[in-house]
């Protein structure tokens, strides 16, 4: 690979609690189709591929997000590497490991570090700004992207520019960073020419590695060990658990950016938005003459400034104003427009109560397809299971439950102990407690079946996998 290659690095972390109930711990906002049936990660991947000179995209994600990241990349056919973190250690460790991996491929490579939960509607404007930043980074500068503020707000950090840089034209050195000031200070900063910090920066891999070694040597050492001991598996690199877990958690801003001597800024004019809350998402949604915004099956009557997202059932509002309503199959959010900014506290309280609605949706995606919980009661659970063509579930058994399967559509190849047989539409079978079984879609279309579980315990952890093509078998303790 030639020197000077550009590697966009997509940072796929973040739990997206302010977009609850749509965003959940195991299926956060960056992987949810929020805009025109595309996820924020899909849009970030498009932006990355639009940058001139890109050779390979690098995605840094938690192990829990391995399959949604892989599937999104697979749809594009892009050349990409997925770096999996065994635990969350913030952006300094994530980008440190990415820089070390990229440096091993190209000693003069440039990183374009991008959060995966932003929106930039003007791809050409975005690519132009990044190209300027790449040019500035060639002089060993760390180049940030700044957005002209639309209003004083505490939602974003600010970049205070200093003198203009001699090149590239239109760039400036960075005088200081101010993290989420109060509105009054934000207004003062804007008058001084400050920009919103878009959280995007461009730097040579070698420069970032050296900066970590200088300003955060402990993080540098942990990253180096985690990458050295990482386990490669095709397009996926899983960081060493012990080494990465020992790494100190810190943001790249605190660990490097605010201490680095040569930081520049490029103006970003690309209709940028950090989709961090329902308020910011509503800014991206079209409204009627009364300011109402409706997505899904909803009707509004004699209302103003009402946001309704209801894809699963009919929702009707009448005679109300300034509300946000978000419906999911297992949770309903109703809040004032101003109250939507308090979601973090609400989710924290629900988490303290161990509410399942914080962790998962009723429909849970798996590498082979998905399952949806339809009903649950004492001693039983009903699921709708969908298996993609050619996919197969693990060979497994359960300690506490039996199962009844009824095929609704498609063709199933079933293994139950020593028997292997085919089920077609409107056929069924029984899986006794303890039976070793497997389900496979042997047809060309989706396989859908209804599963009724009966037993004393119905948790997802009552699965003992004997064989699994997706690497989900837990190691046995010696």
Angle at which helices 90-105 and 217-228 pack, to 10 degrees? 50
C-alpha distance from residue 456 to each of 354, 356, 377 (Å): 21, 19, 11
Q: How many CB atoms lie within 10 A of CB 64?
A: 15
- Which option is the CATH number for 6-274: 3.90.550.10, 3.40.190.10, 3.30.365.10, 3.90.226.10? 3.90.550.10
Give the confidence band of 475 by pLDDT, cuts at 50, 70, 90.
Answer: low
The answer, yes or no, to whether the previous bond of 168 is cis (omega within 30 of 0) is yes
Residue 1 has pLDDT above 50, yes or no: no
Give the confidence band of 132 by pLDDT, cuts at 50, 70, 90.
Answer: very high
> Read out DSSP for 360-397?
--SEEEETTEEEEEEEEETTEEEEEEEE-TT-BPPEEE
Contact call for residues 263 and 142 (beta carbons, < 8 A) = yes
Sequence spans of domains, the chain: 6-274, 278-352, 363-467
What is the torsional sign of CA 162, 166, 170, 174?
negative
Q: For residues 74-102, b (16+ Cβ closer than 10 Å) or e, as one string? A: eeeebebbbbbbbeebbbbbbbbbbbbbb
Per residue in 164-209, pLDDT (tens digit) is 988 888 899 999 999 888 989 999 999 989 999 999 999 999 999 9
How many Å apart are CA 140 and CA 348, to the nearest integer? 42
For 51, the token pair is 């940058």
Q: For residues 260-272, b (16+ Cβ closer than 10 Å) or e, as one string? A: bebbbbbbbebeb
Per CATH, which fold does 363-467 belong to?
Jelly Rolls (2.60.120)
Does the model's pTM come out above 0.85? yes
> Read out DSSP for 298-318?
EEEES-BS-EEEEEEEEEEEE
Per residue in 303-350, pLDDT (tens digit) is 999 999 999 999 999 999 999 999 999 999 999 998 887 888 999 999
């Amino acid at each position: 690979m030639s020197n000077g290659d550009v590697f966009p690095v997509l940072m796929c972390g973040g739990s997206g609690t302010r977009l609850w109930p749509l965003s959940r711990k195991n299926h956060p906002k960056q992987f949810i189709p929020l805009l025109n049936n595309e996820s924020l990660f899909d849009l970030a991947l498009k932006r990355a591929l639009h940058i001139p000179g890109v050779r390979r995209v690098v995605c840094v994600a938690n192990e829990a997000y391995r399959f949604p990241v892989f599937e999104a990349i697979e749809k594009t056919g892009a050349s990409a590497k997925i770096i999996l973190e065994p635990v969350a250690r913030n952006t300094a460790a994530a980008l440190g490991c990415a820089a070390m991996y990229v440096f091993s491929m190209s000693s003069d490579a440039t990183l374009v570090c991008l959060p995966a939960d932003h929106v930039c509607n003007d791809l050409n404007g975005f690519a132009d700004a990044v190209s300027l930043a790449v040019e500035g980074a060639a002089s060993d500068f760390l180049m940030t992207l700044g957005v002209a503020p639309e209003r004083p707000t505490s939602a974003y950090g600010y970049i205070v520019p200093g003198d203009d840089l001699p090149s590239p034209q239109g760039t400036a050195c960075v005088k200081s960073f101010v993290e989420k000031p109060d509105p009054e200070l934000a207004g003062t900063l804007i008058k001084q020419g400050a920009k919103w910090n878009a959280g995007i920066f461009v730097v040579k891999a070698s420069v970032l590695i050296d900066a970590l070694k200088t300003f955060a040597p402990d993080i540098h050492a942990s990253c180096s060990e985690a990458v050295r001991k990482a386990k490669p598996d095709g397009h996926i690199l899983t960081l060493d658990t012990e080494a990465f877990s020992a790494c100190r958690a810190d943001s790249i801003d605190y660990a490097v950016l605010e201490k680095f001597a040569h930081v520049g800024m490029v103006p970003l004019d690309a209709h940028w938005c950090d989709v961090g809350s329902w308020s910011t998402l509503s800014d991206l949604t079209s409204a009627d003459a009364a300011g109402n915004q409706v997505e899904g099956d909803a009707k509004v009557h004699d209302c103003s400034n009402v946001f309704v997202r209801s894809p699963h059932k009919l929702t009707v509002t009448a005679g109300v104003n300034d509300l946000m309503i978000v419906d999911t199959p297992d949770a309903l959010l109703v809040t004032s427009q101003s109250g939507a900014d308090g979601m973090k506290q609400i989710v924290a309280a629900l988490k303290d109560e161990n509410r399942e609605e914080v962790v998962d949706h009723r429909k849970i995606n798996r590498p082979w397809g998905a399952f949806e919980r339809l009903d649950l009661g004492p001693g039983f659970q009903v699921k709708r299971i969908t298996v993609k063509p050619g996919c197969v579930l693990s060979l497994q058994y359960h300690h506490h439950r039996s199962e009844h399967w009824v095929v609704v559509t498609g063709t199933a190849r079933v293994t139950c102990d020593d028997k292997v047989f085919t089920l077609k539409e409107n056929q069924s079978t029984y899986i006794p407690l303890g039976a070793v079984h497997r389900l496979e879609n042997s047809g060309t279309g989706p396989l859908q079946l209804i599963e009724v579980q009966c037993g004393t315990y119905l948790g997802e952890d009552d699965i003992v996998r004997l064989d699994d093509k997706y690497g989900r078998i837990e190691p046995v303790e010696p």
